[in-house]
Protein backbone atom coordinates (compact mmCIF):
# COMPACT_ATOMS: atom_id res chain seq x y z
CA UNK A 1 0.00 0.00 0.00
CA UNK A 2 1.46 3.36 -1.06
CA UNK A 3 0.22 6.25 1.03
CA UNK A 4 -0.37 9.54 -0.76
CA UNK A 5 0.66 12.69 1.08
CA UNK A 6 -1.93 15.10 2.42
CA UNK A 7 -0.90 17.60 -0.23
CA UNK A 8 -1.40 15.10 -3.05
CA UNK A 9 -4.80 14.31 -1.56
CA UNK A 10 -5.81 17.97 -1.47
CA UNK A 11 -4.63 18.51 -5.05
CA UNK A 12 -6.68 15.48 -6.12
CA UNK A 13 -9.75 16.84 -4.30
CA UNK A 14 -9.34 20.21 -6.00
CA UNK A 15 -8.97 18.65 -9.44
CA UNK A 16 -12.00 16.39 -8.92
CA UNK A 17 -14.13 19.25 -7.51
CA UNK A 18 -14.80 17.36 -4.33
CA UNK A 19 -13.85 18.43 -0.81
CA UNK A 20 -12.00 16.94 2.10
CA UNK A 21 -13.96 17.41 5.31
CA UNK A 22 -11.80 18.12 8.36
CA UNK A 23 -13.44 17.12 11.64
CA UNK A 24 -12.36 18.87 14.83
CA UNK A 25 -11.90 16.71 17.93
CA UNK A 26 -12.37 18.60 21.22
CA UNK A 27 -12.94 15.31 23.14
CA UNK A 28 -10.80 12.28 22.30
CA UNK A 29 -13.64 9.69 22.33
CA UNK A 30 -15.15 11.50 19.33
CA UNK A 31 -12.25 10.50 17.10
CA UNK A 32 -13.01 6.81 16.65
CA UNK A 33 -16.65 7.60 15.81
CA UNK A 34 -15.57 10.02 13.06
CA UNK A 35 -13.18 7.46 11.55
CA UNK A 36 -15.89 4.79 11.62
CA UNK A 37 -18.41 7.05 9.87
CA UNK A 38 -15.85 7.98 7.19
CA UNK A 39 -15.06 4.31 6.58
CA UNK A 40 -18.73 3.30 6.45
CA UNK A 41 -19.54 6.04 3.92
CA UNK A 42 -16.26 5.60 1.99
CA UNK A 43 -15.50 9.29 2.45
CA UNK A 44 -12.05 10.78 2.90
CA UNK A 45 -11.58 13.11 5.89
CA UNK A 46 -8.99 14.78 8.04
CA UNK A 47 -8.90 14.28 11.78
CA UNK A 48 -7.99 17.71 13.02
CA UNK A 49 -7.36 19.38 16.34
CA UNK A 50 -6.83 23.07 16.99
CA UNK A 51 -4.72 24.35 19.87
CA UNK A 52 -7.82 25.73 21.58
CA UNK A 53 -9.20 22.19 21.72
CA UNK A 54 -6.53 21.05 24.15
CA UNK A 55 -6.32 24.40 25.94
CA UNK A 56 -10.08 25.03 26.34
CA UNK A 57 -11.65 21.62 25.74
CA UNK A 58 -10.55 18.09 26.61
CA UNK A 59 -8.41 16.73 23.81
CA UNK A 60 -5.48 16.70 26.23
CA UNK A 61 -2.35 17.53 24.27
CA UNK A 62 -0.85 17.23 20.84
CA UNK A 63 0.74 13.94 21.90
CA UNK A 64 -2.50 12.52 23.35
CA UNK A 65 -4.31 13.35 20.11
CA UNK A 66 -1.57 11.71 18.07
CA UNK A 67 -1.69 8.57 20.24
CA UNK A 68 -5.45 8.29 19.88
CA UNK A 69 -5.10 8.83 16.13
CA UNK A 70 -2.58 5.99 15.88
CA UNK A 71 -5.09 3.77 17.70
CA UNK A 72 -8.15 4.52 15.57
CA UNK A 73 -6.79 5.69 12.19
CA UNK A 74 -7.65 4.11 8.88
CA UNK A 75 -5.26 5.47 6.29
CA UNK A 76 -7.53 4.44 3.46
CA UNK A 77 -9.84 7.21 4.68
CA UNK A 78 -7.98 9.55 7.05
CA UNK A 79 -4.92 11.71 7.74
CA UNK A 80 -4.01 13.76 10.84
CA UNK A 81 -3.90 17.57 10.63
CA UNK A 82 -3.02 20.28 13.16
CA UNK A 83 -5.73 22.94 12.90
CA UNK A 84 -5.33 26.62 13.99
CA UNK A 85 -2.03 27.15 15.71
CA UNK A 86 -2.53 30.89 16.19
CA UNK A 87 0.28 33.43 16.30
CA UNK A 88 -2.03 35.60 18.44
CA UNK A 89 -4.81 33.58 20.02
CA UNK A 90 -8.54 34.30 20.49
CA UNK A 91 -7.74 35.95 23.86
CA UNK A 92 -5.14 38.23 22.23
CA UNK A 93 -2.19 36.35 23.74
CA UNK A 94 0.99 35.53 21.83
CA UNK A 95 1.59 31.83 21.12
CA UNK A 96 4.91 30.03 20.54
CA UNK A 97 3.61 29.05 17.14
CA UNK A 98 6.89 27.93 15.58
CA UNK A 99 7.71 25.65 18.53
CA UNK A 100 4.18 24.19 18.53
CA UNK A 101 3.99 23.55 14.80
CA UNK A 102 7.51 22.06 14.88
CA UNK A 103 6.40 19.73 17.65
CA UNK A 104 3.41 18.64 15.58
CA UNK A 105 5.65 17.81 12.61
CA UNK A 106 8.03 15.89 14.89
CA UNK A 107 5.14 13.93 16.41
CA UNK A 108 3.90 12.84 12.98
CA UNK A 109 1.07 15.22 12.12
CA UNK A 110 0.71 15.06 8.33
CA UNK A 111 -0.15 18.74 7.73
CA UNK A 112 -0.25 21.82 9.96
CA UNK A 113 -2.01 25.16 10.04
CA UNK A 114 -0.46 28.39 11.26
CA UNK A 115 -2.96 31.18 11.78
CA UNK A 116 -1.52 34.68 11.61
CA UNK A 117 -4.80 36.21 10.51
CA UNK A 118 -4.98 38.53 13.53
CA UNK A 119 -1.71 40.15 12.42
CA UNK A 120 -1.07 42.86 9.81
CA UNK A 121 -0.35 41.37 6.36
CA UNK A 122 3.43 41.72 6.51
CA UNK A 123 3.66 39.99 9.89
CA UNK A 124 1.24 37.26 8.84
CA UNK A 125 3.47 36.64 5.80
CA UNK A 126 6.62 36.51 7.94
CA UNK A 127 5.13 34.11 10.53
CA UNK A 128 3.63 31.86 7.87
CA UNK A 129 6.90 31.76 5.95
CA UNK A 130 8.77 30.60 9.06
CA UNK A 131 6.36 27.69 9.52
CA UNK A 132 6.42 26.85 5.80
CA UNK A 133 10.24 26.70 5.80
CA UNK A 134 10.23 24.45 8.87
CA UNK A 135 7.45 22.11 7.66
CA UNK A 136 8.54 21.84 4.03
CA UNK A 137 11.98 20.72 5.20
CA UNK A 138 10.15 17.59 6.45
CA UNK A 139 7.82 17.36 3.43
CA UNK A 140 4.78 18.51 5.43
CA UNK A 141 2.24 20.88 3.81
CA UNK A 142 1.06 24.05 5.52
CA UNK A 143 -2.29 25.82 5.64
CA UNK A 144 -2.56 29.49 6.60
CA UNK A 145 -5.34 32.04 6.89
CA UNK A 146 -5.81 35.43 5.30
CA UNK A 147 -8.81 37.59 6.17
CA UNK A 148 -10.94 37.45 9.29
CA UNK A 149 -12.95 34.32 9.96
CA UNK A 150 -14.55 35.57 13.18
CA UNK A 151 -16.41 33.64 15.85
CA UNK A 152 -13.81 32.14 18.22
CA UNK A 153 -13.43 35.39 20.17
CA UNK A 154 -15.40 35.73 23.42
CA UNK A 155 -16.78 39.21 22.66
CA UNK A 156 -19.89 39.97 20.60
CA UNK A 157 -19.75 39.45 16.84
CA UNK A 158 -20.65 42.43 14.62
CA UNK A 159 -24.12 41.89 13.08
CA UNK A 160 -23.72 39.16 10.43
CA UNK A 161 -25.71 40.95 7.71
CA UNK A 162 -23.50 43.99 8.10
CA UNK A 163 -20.36 41.86 7.85
CA UNK A 164 -21.63 40.11 4.75
CA UNK A 165 -22.96 43.14 2.90
CA UNK A 166 -19.85 45.25 3.51
CA UNK A 167 -17.44 42.35 2.94
CA UNK A 168 -15.57 43.50 6.03
CA UNK A 169 -12.74 41.09 6.82
CA UNK A 170 -13.10 39.23 3.51
CA UNK A 171 -9.85 37.93 2.03
CA UNK A 172 -8.52 40.55 -0.38
CA UNK A 173 -7.68 39.09 -3.81
CA UNK A 174 -4.44 41.06 -4.38
CA UNK A 175 -3.25 40.35 -0.85
CA UNK A 176 -3.99 36.65 -1.39
CA UNK A 177 -1.78 36.58 -4.49
CA UNK A 178 1.07 38.25 -2.62
CA UNK A 179 0.54 36.06 0.45
CA UNK A 180 0.72 32.79 -1.50
CA UNK A 181 3.73 33.95 -3.54
CA UNK A 182 5.75 35.19 -0.58
CA UNK A 183 4.90 32.42 1.90
CA UNK A 184 4.79 29.43 -0.50
CA UNK A 185 1.87 28.19 1.62
CA UNK A 186 0.16 25.07 0.28
CA UNK A 187 -3.50 25.70 1.21
CA UNK A 188 -5.19 29.00 1.96
CA UNK A 189 -8.05 29.51 4.42
CA UNK A 190 -10.26 32.32 3.17
CA UNK A 191 -12.96 34.61 4.55
CA UNK A 192 -15.89 34.95 2.13
CA UNK A 193 -18.84 35.18 4.53
CA UNK A 194 -17.99 32.12 6.65
CA UNK A 195 -17.65 32.42 10.43
CA UNK A 196 -16.55 29.97 13.12
CA UNK A 197 -19.05 28.45 15.54
CA UNK A 198 -18.74 30.13 18.95
CA UNK A 199 -16.62 28.41 21.60
CA UNK A 200 -17.05 30.75 24.59
CA UNK A 201 -18.88 29.23 27.57
CA UNK A 202 -21.68 31.78 27.14
CA UNK A 203 -22.36 30.95 23.50
CA UNK A 204 -21.02 27.51 22.64
CA UNK A 205 -24.38 25.74 23.02
CA UNK A 206 -26.29 28.16 20.82
CA UNK A 207 -27.46 27.11 17.37
CA UNK A 208 -25.04 28.58 14.87
CA UNK A 209 -26.43 31.11 12.41
CA UNK A 210 -26.84 30.10 8.76
CA UNK A 211 -23.90 31.87 7.11
CA UNK A 212 -23.83 32.68 3.41
CA UNK A 213 -20.87 32.72 1.03
CA UNK A 214 -19.85 35.25 -1.62
CA UNK A 215 -19.19 32.74 -4.39
CA UNK A 216 -18.05 35.34 -6.94
CA UNK A 217 -15.45 36.62 -4.53
CA UNK A 218 -14.33 33.05 -3.85
CA UNK A 219 -13.94 32.44 -7.60
CA UNK A 220 -11.76 35.55 -7.92
CA UNK A 221 -9.46 34.30 -5.14
CA UNK A 222 -9.35 30.86 -6.74
CA UNK A 223 -8.42 32.21 -10.14
CA UNK A 224 -5.80 34.56 -8.78
CA UNK A 225 -4.03 32.13 -6.44
CA UNK A 226 -4.48 28.62 -7.90
CA UNK A 227 -3.93 26.87 -4.55
CA UNK A 228 -6.51 24.65 -2.82
CA UNK A 229 -8.73 26.91 -0.70
CA UNK A 230 -10.08 26.07 2.74
CA UNK A 231 -13.46 26.94 4.21
CA UNK A 232 -13.46 27.28 7.98
CA UNK A 233 -16.70 27.50 9.90
CA UNK A 234 -18.27 24.64 7.96
CA UNK A 235 -21.19 24.16 10.34
CA UNK A 236 -24.54 25.67 9.39
CA UNK A 237 -23.70 27.12 5.96
CA UNK A 238 -26.61 26.57 3.61
CA UNK A 239 -26.12 23.52 1.41
CA UNK A 240 -26.35 25.33 -1.95
CA UNK A 241 -23.54 27.67 -0.93
CA UNK A 242 -21.30 24.82 0.18
CA UNK A 243 -21.85 22.89 -3.04
CA UNK A 244 -21.10 26.02 -5.11
CA UNK A 245 -18.00 26.63 -3.00
CA UNK A 246 -16.72 23.10 -3.67
CA UNK A 247 -17.16 23.71 -7.40
CA UNK A 248 -15.30 27.03 -7.04
CA UNK A 249 -12.00 26.00 -5.45
CA UNK A 250 -12.82 24.98 -1.87
CA UNK A 251 -10.98 21.69 -1.35
CA UNK A 252 -11.22 21.41 2.45
CA UNK A 253 -14.07 22.24 4.82
CA UNK A 254 -13.61 22.40 8.58
CA UNK A 255 -16.44 21.12 10.74
CA UNK A 256 -16.48 21.47 14.52
CA UNK A 257 -19.79 22.66 16.03
CA UNK A 258 -21.92 20.15 14.08
CA UNK A 259 -20.24 17.23 15.84
CA UNK A 260 -19.24 18.87 19.16
CA UNK A 261 -22.75 19.91 20.20
CA UNK A 262 -24.36 16.44 19.77
CA UNK A 263 -21.45 14.93 21.72
CA UNK A 264 -21.70 17.44 24.56
CA UNK A 265 -25.47 17.00 24.82
CA UNK A 266 -25.14 13.27 25.55
CA UNK A 267 -21.73 12.66 27.08
CA UNK A 268 -22.85 12.96 30.70
CA UNK A 269 -25.60 10.45 30.13
CA UNK A 270 -23.37 8.00 28.22
CA UNK A 271 -20.14 8.35 26.25
CA UNK A 272 -21.30 5.57 23.96
CA UNK A 273 -24.51 7.37 23.11
CA UNK A 274 -22.53 10.56 22.54
CA UNK A 275 -20.16 8.71 20.20
CA UNK A 276 -23.14 7.32 18.32
CA UNK A 277 -24.46 10.86 17.90
CA UNK A 278 -21.12 11.93 16.41
CA UNK A 279 -21.17 8.96 14.05
CA UNK A 280 -24.70 9.87 12.89
CA UNK A 281 -23.83 13.56 12.50
CA UNK A 282 -20.83 12.75 10.27
CA UNK A 283 -22.84 10.29 8.22
CA UNK A 284 -25.72 12.71 7.71
CA UNK A 285 -23.37 15.50 6.71
CA UNK A 286 -21.33 13.57 4.16
CA UNK A 287 -24.11 11.46 2.73
CA UNK A 288 -27.32 13.48 2.90
CA UNK A 289 -26.23 17.11 3.11
CA UNK A 290 -23.07 17.42 1.01
CA UNK A 291 -23.18 14.39 -1.30
CA UNK A 292 -19.56 13.54 -0.52
CA UNK A 293 -20.06 9.86 0.32
CA UNK A 294 -17.80 7.68 -1.82
CA UNK A 295 -15.37 10.49 -2.63
CA UNK A 296 -12.45 8.34 -1.53
CA UNK A 297 -12.53 6.86 -5.04
CA UNK A 298 -11.91 10.34 -6.54
CA UNK A 299 -9.05 11.09 -4.13
CA UNK A 300 -7.24 7.76 -3.84
CA UNK A 301 -5.47 8.27 -0.48
CA UNK A 302 -3.68 4.95 -0.97
CA UNK A 303 -2.53 3.48 -4.23
Closer CB to ligand 13P, 88 or 177, in the complex = 88
Site membership for ligand 13P, residue 275 (CB under 6 A): no
Instruction: Tell me how far, at minimum, the Cβ of 181 lies from ligand 13P, in Å.
Output: 25
Regarding 235 and contact with ligand 13P (CB under 6 A), the answer is yes
Query: Does residue 95 sit in helix, strand or coil?
Result: coil
Stretch that binds ligand 13P, among 135-143, 179-187, 231-239, 270-278 (CB under 6 A): 231-239
Q: Establish whether 92 is a catalytic residue.
A: no
CB 227 within 8 A of CB 187: yes
Among the residue ranges 32-40, 96-104, 254-262, 264-272, the one whose residues contact ligand 13P (CB under 6 A)? 254-262
d(CA 291, CA 216): 22
Residue of 248, 257, 275, 295 interacting with ligand 13P (CB under 6 A): 257
Q: How far apart are CA 162 and CA 101, in angstroms?
A: 35
Assess contact for 301 and 77: CB atoms under 8 A: yes
- Whether residue 190 contacts residue 117, with contact meaning beta carbons closer than 8 Å, is answered with no
Length in residues, the chain? 303
- Give the x/- contact pattern for ligand 13P in 82-121, rule: CB under 6 A: -xx-------------------------------------
Q: Identify which of residues 182 and 244 has a Cβ nearer to ligand 13P in the complex.
A: 244
Kindly tell me which residue out of 234, 249, 262, 301 binds ligand 13P, with binding defined by CB under 6 A: 234
88 by DSSP, 3-state: which?
strand
Q: Which residues, in sequence order, are bridge partners of residue 80? A: 47
- Which residues are paired to 66 by β-bridges? none
Q: How far apart are CA 50 and CA 178, in angstroms?
A: 26
Longest dimension (CA), the chain: 51
Binding mask 33-62 for ligand 13P (x = CB under 6 A): -----------------x------------
The answer to whether 232 contacts ligand 13P (rule: CB under 6 A) is yes
Let me know if 264 is exposed, middle or buried by CB neighbors in 10 A (0-12, 13-18, 19+).
Answer: middle
Q: Check binding of 197 to ligand 13P (CB under 6 A).
A: yes
Q: Which residues bind ligand 13P (CB under 6 A)?
A: 24, 50, 83-84, 196-197, 208, 232-235, 254-258
Q: Which residues are catalytic?
A: 83
Amino acid sequence: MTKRSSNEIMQAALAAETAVLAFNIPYLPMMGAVVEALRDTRTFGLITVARLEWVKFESGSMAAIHNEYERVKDERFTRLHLDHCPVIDEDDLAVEYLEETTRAVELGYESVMVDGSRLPLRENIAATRRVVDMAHASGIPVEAELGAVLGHEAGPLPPYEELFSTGRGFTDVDEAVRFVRETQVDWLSVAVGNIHGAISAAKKNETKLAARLDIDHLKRIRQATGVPLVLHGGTGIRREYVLDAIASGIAKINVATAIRQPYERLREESVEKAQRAVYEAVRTLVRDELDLAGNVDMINPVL
